[in-house]
Amino acid sequence: MKKIINKTDDIIEEMLRGLVASYPHLVHRVEDSRVVAKNQEKKQVALVSGGGSGHEPSHAGFVGDGMLSAAVAGDVFTSPTPDQIQIAMKEADQGEGVLLIVKNYTGDNLNFEMAQEMAEMEDIHSEIVVVDDDIAVEDSEFTAGKRGVAGTVLVHKILGDAARAGASLDELKKRGDDVVKKIKTIGLALRAATVPEVGKPGFELAEDEIEYGVGIHGEAGYRREKIQPSKELAKELTTKILADYEEQPKKVGVLVNGMGGTPLMEQFIFMNDVLNLLKEQNIAVTFHKVGNYMTSLDMEGVSLTLIDLADETLKEALESEVTTISW
């Protein structure tokens, strides 16, 4: 394992220090915590998100005007703990309540629910929006539901815009649940991530193999096969996502997300292929985004997210100006 780190125990602390010191005009650190919060507050419902570290720029990269009020960093690929989430909720709350945006993983759900119960005792009202955009996993009685992955970033943006415009906690909860249903994602990996504390890749893939449907912590996907040209990879993911919509959308937004170890060059090539495929199907793309947003440490691979943009207000929300580190 080769990584630019010091002691593995200090990774999160040192990352947060570096991040906050680099963008002091946008964010600050809540003392003795793993919470990064935005500097200027105006009266609105607070949006708090977070999750394991290793997904940078998620989640602190999206703290700022028009997106998140605060983000909580857990250990690498491990949900933050309830006391830390509670600190973020207290820091962000301005009396209008707190909306928690949580990716659908068992650990995240449990910790955010516990935090919610603890905050309730201090009269902080909150709601949870659970994002489960990963269609690689079927939602059946044998799984803990679908996973929450890169589509979460779009939820941050859309709800951030609504919160800034003065939506109430109930309205945001409703809008969030509604938006999540319109977002679908699948990922693919060329090489697994190496968690620093573990020191070796989370799974083995042969030099010429890829895996479709991996999660953002390297959870297994649905199929392994020999690497193919980008066109074929794009076809597999696009077809699968479109098939998952009850009715094929006419207008979509596209997010091609790098997993951390894949150059932008390859991400743009992949985006080009996706856009061509959508054009063939007469689907209009009215919003585009390419880059590393929900990474998986140094995993090589990409994920594709589509969002149904039949509702014009969603496109407007995605395009509104924000002041964050990474949007």
Partner 1 sequence: MQLTVKEVQNWFEKFTDKIKENKGYLSDLDTPIGDGDHGNNMARGVAAYEASFEQKQPETISETFQVFSMAMISKVGGASGPLYGSALMNMVKETKGIDTIDAYEQLGEIVAQGLAGIKKRGKTEFEDKTMVDVWEPVTQALKAGSLDKDQIEKAKEHTKGLIAKKGRASYLGERSKGHIDPGAASSALFFDALVEVIQ
Residues that bind partner 1 (CB under 8 A): 52, 74-84, 105-107, 110-111, 113-114, 137, 141-144, 147, 195, 197-198, 202, 215, 217-220
Eight-class DSSP state of 250: S
Helix (H, G, I), strand (E, B) or coil at 93: coil
Q: Which is nearer to partner 1, 206 or 265 (CB)?
A: 206
Residue 215 Cβ vs partner 1, minimum distance, rounded to whole Å: 7
Q: Cite the beta strand spans of the chain per DSSP E.
A: 27-29, 35-38, 46-53, 70-76, 98-103, 126-131, 183-191, 209-212, 223-226, 251-258, 284-291, 300-308
Query: Helical H runs in 4-150?
Result: 11-22, 82-92, 106-121
Query: Quick check: 55 and 294 in contact, CB under 8 A?
Result: yes
Distance of closest approach, residue 26 Cβ to partner 1, in angstroms: 26
Question: Minimum distance between the CB of residue 241 and partner 1, rounded to whole angstroms?
Answer: 18
Strand ranges of the sheet holding 98-103, from the earlier edge strand across to the other edge: 27-29, 35-38, 70-76, 46-53, 98-103, 126-131
Max intra-chain CA distance, the chain: 55
**In the complex, minimum distance from the CB of residue 136 to partner 1, in angstroms, rounded to a whole number:** 9
Q: Which is nearer to partner 1, 81 or 320 (CB)?
A: 81
Q: How far apart are the first and last CA of the chain?
A: 30
Helices 82-92/106-121 angle, 10° precision: 50
**Helix and strand totals (H; E) in the chain:** 8, 12
Query: Which residue, 102 or 137, is less far from partner 1 as judged by CB?
Result: 137
Kind of pairing, strands 183-191 and 209-212?
A: antiparallel
Task: Supply the residues annotated as catalytic.
Answer: 55, 217
Work out how close the CB of 1 gets to partner 1 at its nearest, in angstroms, rounded to a whole number: 13
Cβ 79 to partner 1, closest distance in Å? 5
Compare residues 142 and 206 and give the one whose CB is closer to partner 1. Answer: 142
Tell me whether residue 143 or residue 276 sits nearer to partner 1 (CB atom).
143
Please name which of 170, 166, 164 lies closest in space to residue 68, comparing C-alpha atoms. 164
Mutual orientation of helices 151-164 and 312-319 as an angle, nearest 10°? 90
> Of 110 and 165, which CB lies nearer to partner 1 in the complex structure?
110
